[in-house]
Structure 1
């Protein structure tokens, strides 16, 4: 396979691109039948007993080439392309037009503009803590206790100017609030390789690396719920396109099924959650690892 660098985003400047902030990386057991529709035929889904390892990466960037913004990366599963295995993103939601455009056109990500609505719910009789962002849990002040349910994060996709519910993430804790220490956790350096592409903007399969320098600690997995008005169809069903559909209607059904299956990934069983503080992430320029087309997923009229 030929390997070559992709073009770079002028708005973001030359790579590597640096992102600073905090993040939550939560791993889930995802049904293989849920993840498989996202995976190009050139790659093999890593699975065992009908499950793969997926989940999500939820980040709040204080500084980046696109400024401050929030990001939710839905990870469908792990794919294998010798000699490496990498994560495959089913959906990327950001509240930045510039970050969305860059993700689509230069990294080959399935990026969508979204709204991140954060709401603090304090239990009566307990003081309400102040937070710098939704990931720094218990950034306490002089207060002693957490509210029982102290943060709801509602993520909604923006489609045609309207907001459509995607998921709700609930951060909750009880008991004495620990004194916040910005340097709490184990200092680590790690690399998270990922595949991308196979999209409308970049048909080829790309590979890129995120080099992370942060302090990490294990935390209780957050609770995720689906849209306020969930789809009537079973979101766990695999993608099925019918030959009699027109190209436009087939594309619409494809997008709708990918949306539903992405929600299924979020609602799958969590197994571990890691909180990244003092995060500095360096993203390298993607390289082409396979020439392919997504046309096989579309039906011509």
Structure 2
């Protein structure tokens, strides 16, 4: 990897002045992605962080209830991790949003491979009663109680829209326990974290960029979402879409649910190689 110098980048005023603020909830799912799949997305200027033929990728599925352009959904497919001494940064293979303004901002200001998409959601609430072995023992001695809660089952069909063409990308199946308000601690502890990323090298922003998302949220580990391939019309094949889907279909190793999410996105800087 060649040495790099960092300089400030210019940005459009469509989102207003940075930093850009978002709030909502998200699922951050980490997968083991084949190195050969990730390399198809990553510029030659960067070295992939890998071990035994795999890198760490996955996806970030967010639902924003407030942003510079209002409410929208976002799916960021993360190809893998690239080396950026003294740390490492993520590289996005594809970003899908159901907002034309968010797509334009991602392309021009942040250098992301953004595309407008449709998110079709089907929700089923299944009431249930949970009584584990320990709680059953407490009931026997008069100290236990049943915890009533709901389990939300949601299918999200993600379809990429490119002019008159529509391509089914994937179906994401979520299963989440929803505790009663008095058990809000189940949402997990409050944390602060930073997610540094590289971007650029696209037709809309050919420069290489680096930006950072600073998050405040409550986080808890959850059961990984199940991802299946969307239906494709026979005869149609898109290598970029197929590789992006391969990232989504790779083996999940950890899923984190972000609640009460507040995200601050700093303006990107241009990285010039020398």
Instruction: Using structure 1 for the length normalisation, give the TM-score.
Output: 0.78
1:265 matched to 2:247: yes
Distance 1:268 1:278 in 2: 28
SS in 2 for 1:120: strand
Match of 2:117 in 1: 114
Aligned counterparts of 1:182 and 1:228: Cα–Cα separation in 2:
38
Q: Is 1:39 matched up with 2:28?
A: no
C-alpha displacement of 1:202: 1.4
The 5 A counterparts of 1:77-156 are 77-121=80-124, 144=148, 146=150, 150-156=153-159
Q: Does 1:280 align with 2:262?
A: yes
**CA distance in structure 2 between the aligned counterparts of 1:232 and 1:22, rounded to whole angstroms:** 37
Distance in 2, Cα, partners of 1:78 & 1:227: 26
- Mind listing any 5+ residue stretches in structure 1 that lack a counterpart? 128-142, 234-252, 293-301
CA distance in 2, matches of 1:61, 1:6: 26
Task: Tell me how far 1:290 sits from its aligned partner.
Answer: 2.6
Deviates more, 1:64-73 or 1:2-11: 2-11
1:179 is aligned to 180
* Runs of at least 5 residues in structure 2 that lack an aligned partner in the other structure: 129-146
Change (3 A) 1:224 1:205: same
Runs of 4+ in 1 over 3 A off after TM superposition: 143-147, 180-183, 229-233
Deviation at 1:257, TM superposition (A): 1.2
Q: What is the root-mean-square deviation of aligned Cα atoms in Å? A: 2.3
Instruction: Say whether the 8 Å CA contact 1:231–1:260 is kept in structure 2.
Output: no
Deviations 1:98-127 (A, max 9, x none): 00000000100000000001012467xx58
- The equivalent residue for 1:55 is 58
Using the alignment, how far apart are the partners of 1:40 and 1:118 within structure 2?
A: 34
Do 1:182 and 1:277's aligned partners in 2 also have CA atoms closer than 8 Å?
Answer: no
The number of aligned residues is 251
**Cα distance 1:221–1:202, how it changes in 2: closer, same or farther (>3 A)?**
same
Cα displacement (A) at 1:3: 1.8
The answer (yes or no) to whether the contact 2:24–2:63 under 8 Å persists in 1 is yes
Aligned-partner SS, 1:92:
strand
